């Protein structure tokens, strides 16, 4: 079942239908996560290739095609990951 947004307005009373909808959406989300995101090592790690550092979002990885090194971001800057290549 696909996600269907259920809008709650101030003063809405939690009806059985709305509460069951929440439960169903939780079950659907959990099933999706279990099926697609918890595969452990079955999913490949995809690292961005770039000639210069992209925006340093926390935990972002990239491979510098000029220096031939891997870099990881801490949220503000990138640092070379040593011992990889």
SS3 readout for 14-57: CCHHHHHHHHHHHHHHHHHHHHHCCCHHHCCCCCEEECCCCCCC
The answer on pLDDT for 66 being more than 90 is yes
For 5-62, how does the pLDDT look when each residue is reduced to its tens digit (9 = 90+)?
Answer: 667 778 888 788 877 777 777 777 777 777 776 665 566 777 889 999 998 888 888 9
Residue 4: predicted pLDDT: 67
Which pLDDT band, with edges at 50, 70 and 90, does 63 fall under?
A: very high
Residue 38: predicted pLDDT: 61
């Amino acid at each position: 079942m696909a996600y269907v947004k259920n809008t709650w307005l101030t003063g809405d009373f939690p009806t059985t239908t709305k509460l069951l909808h929440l439960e169903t959406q939780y079950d659907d989300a959990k099933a999706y996560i279990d099926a697609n995101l918890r595969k452990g090592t079955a999913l490949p790690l995809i690292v961005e290739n770039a000639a210069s550092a992209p925006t340093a979002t926390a935990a972002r990885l990239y491979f510098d095609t000029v220096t031939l090194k891997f870099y990881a971001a801490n949220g503000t800057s990138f640092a070379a990951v040593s011992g990889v290549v």
